[in-house]
């Protein structure tokens, strides 16, 4: 099946009160596991490649084109999404490579520049048929910035979405990136207030630190796209570690990476079902 846009997938989910899982691809095994999870559940999945992952590989194209090939060969509904891009050139490269969605993260820019730059990115992406997610204010946890007190103001969010024309908006409601314990609490009343005022689907970043029942409550309160990366990396690494401990003489990388891939598929499928309700 060909790739679909984020706007299309999220609009249907928001209408039906469902959440959509958005999971990060670092190795090609992640792409294979996540697409298999989408096939297994019959639910759409957002395959995200972050600017950090691009930095790790030294380039966007190899991992992006591999991920795209896995998705296109599948019957699952997949969105190919660039996650947390601060670099506009990287956004343009993603559009040229066939991504169907990008997140432009201008949260570190001053407010007026973020609005202006996001609007320009939206213009170029929409001309190419690509969805745009943006962020207003900074969600904690990236590059050591931990800001648990940061909250999005609902009317500010509504104005930002209207001014920029984005298709989805990441909001700060209590989660923080890269948490390895699932102990975050969310301001669900704030989620509902933002949901009532903002016309586009909302995105929860840093959901790895949010327990299952709170994720379900967040979707009920109005979250649509739920980003989970660290939690799935933990599942991958645990399976690889267990395999290596149980098989200390293994040399074939397929043995332990395959164990990691199976673990990610199982947990991603469980999360897709949980979020879809």
Catalytic residues: 83
Task: Name the residue nearer to Zn ion (CB basis): 82 or 259.
Answer: 82
Task: Name the residue nearer to Zn ion (CB basis): 29 or 133.
Answer: 133
206 Rama class: left (phi>0) / alpha (psi -120 to 50) / beta? left
- Shortest distance, position 84 Cβ to Zn ion, whole Å: 5
Phi and psi at residue 60, to the nearest 5° = -85, -40
- Shortest distance, position 245 Cβ to Zn ion, whole Å: 32
Task: Name the residue nearer to Zn ion (CB basis): 36 or 134.
Answer: 134
Contact 176, 184 (CB under 8 A): yes
- Shortest distance, position 181 Cβ to Zn ion, whole Å: 18
CB atoms within 10 A of CB 66: 15
231 sits near Zn ion (criterion: CB under 5 A): no
Helices and strands (H, E) in the chain, number of each type? 11, 8
Site string for Zn ion, 176-215 (x = CB under 5 A): -----------------------------x----------
Compute the distance between CA of residue 182 and CA of residue 6 in angstroms, rounded to an integer.
Answer: 27
User: Among residues 80, 210, 78, 79, which one has the least CA distance to residue 141?
Assistant: 210
- Shortest distance, position 48 Cβ to Zn ion, whole Å: 9
User: Among residues 168, 221, 161, 164, which one has the least CA distance to residue 195?
Assistant: 221
Query: DSSP code of 165?
Result: -
* Contacts to Zn ion from residues 14-33, by CB under 5 A: none
* Contacts to Zn ion from residues 85-104, by CB under 5 A: none
- Shortest distance, position 104 Cβ to Zn ion, whole Å: 12
Query: DSSP code of 183?
Result: -
Element (H, E) at 97: helix 88-97
Q: How many residues bind Zn ion (CB under 5 A)?
A: 1
* Contacts to Zn ion from residues 143-162, by CB under 5 A: none
Task: Name the residue nearer to Zn ion (CB basis): 81 or 195.
Answer: 81
- Shortest distance, position 218 Cβ to Zn ion, whole Å: 15
Task: Name the residue nearer to Zn ion (CB basis): 14 or 205.
Answer: 205
β strands within 4-148, DSSP E? 20-24, 45-50, 78-85, 101-104, 131-135
Burial class (CB in 10 A: 0-12, 13-18, 19+), 274: middle
Task: Name the residue nearer to Zn ion (CB basis): 78 or 226.
Answer: 226
Which residue ranges make up the site for Zn ion (CB under 5 A)?
Answer: 205
């Amino acid at each position: 099946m060909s790739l679909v846009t984020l706007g299309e997938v999220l609009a249907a989910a928001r209408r039906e009160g469902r959440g959509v899982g958005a999971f990060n691809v670092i190795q090609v095994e992640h792409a294979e596991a996540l697409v298999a999870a989408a096939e297994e559940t019959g639910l759409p999945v957002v395959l995200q490649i972050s600017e950090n992952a691009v930095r790790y590989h030294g380039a966007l194209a190899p991992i992006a084109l591999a991920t795209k090939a896995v998705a296109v060969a599948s019957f699952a509904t997949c969105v190919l999404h660039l996650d947390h891009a601060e670099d506009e050139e990287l956004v343009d490269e993603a559009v040229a490579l066939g991504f169907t969605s990008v997140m432009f993260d201008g949260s570190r820019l001053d407010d007026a520049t973020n609005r202006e730059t996001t609007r320009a990115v939206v213009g170029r992406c929409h001309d190419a048929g690509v969805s745009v997610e943006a962020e207003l204010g900074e969600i904690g946890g990236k590059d050591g910035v931990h800001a648990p007190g940061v909250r999005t103001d609902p009317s500010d969010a509504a104005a930002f979405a209207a001014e920029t024309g984005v298709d989805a908006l990441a909001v700060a409601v209590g989660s923080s990136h890269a948490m390895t314990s699932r102990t975050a609490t969310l301001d669900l009343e704030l989620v509902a207030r933002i949901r009532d005022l903002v016309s586009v689907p909302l995105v929860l970043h840093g959901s790895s630190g949010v327990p299952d029942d709170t994720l379900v409550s967040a979707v009920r309160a109005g979250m649509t796209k739920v980003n989970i990366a660290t939690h799935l990396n933990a599942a991958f690494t645990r399976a690889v570690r267990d395999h290596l401990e149980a098989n200390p003489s293994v040399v074939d990388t397929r043995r332990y990476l395959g164990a990691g891939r199976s673990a990610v598929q199982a947990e991603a499928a469980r999360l897709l079902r949980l979020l879809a309700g």
